[in-house]
Amino acid sequence: MKHINPEYPTRMRGVVEKCTMCVERVGIGKLPACVEAIGDTKAMIFGDLHDANSEIRKALKENYTIQRKPSLGTHPSVFYIV
């Protein structure tokens, strides 16, 4: 039998899920797995949009960004630097 990691939530086979930004990891003070995996390349930045001094707020201020379908009123919090 395979070892099951109790820190990783189980998923049903064949079910597609929306990204939750690894809420279970962020809740214990870790970065989302995708951000951690890319290391110090800065290809992805994760942080608190409410903190005016955060790295993410600095990047948003200094770069042109877009969001996917903000007109739908869902207040997306993923920004793409273009």
The answer to whether 77 and 59 have CB atoms below 8 angstroms apart is no
Alpha-carbon Rg for the chain in angstroms: 16
d(CA 43, CA 40): 8
31 vs 2, residue with greater confidence: 31
Q: What is the pLDDT of residues 47-67, one digit of tens each?
A: 999 999 999 999 999 999 999
The sign of the CA dihedral 70, 75, 80, 82 is positive
Cα–Cα distance between 48 and 68 in angstroms, integer? 19
17-51 pLDDT tens trace: 888 899 989 999 999 999 999 999 989 999 999 99
pLDDT at 12: 76
Residue with the two structure tokens 């395979």: 2
Name the residue ranges covered by the structural domains of the chain: 1-44, 47-82
Q: Where is 37: in which H helix or E strand?
A: helix 33-37
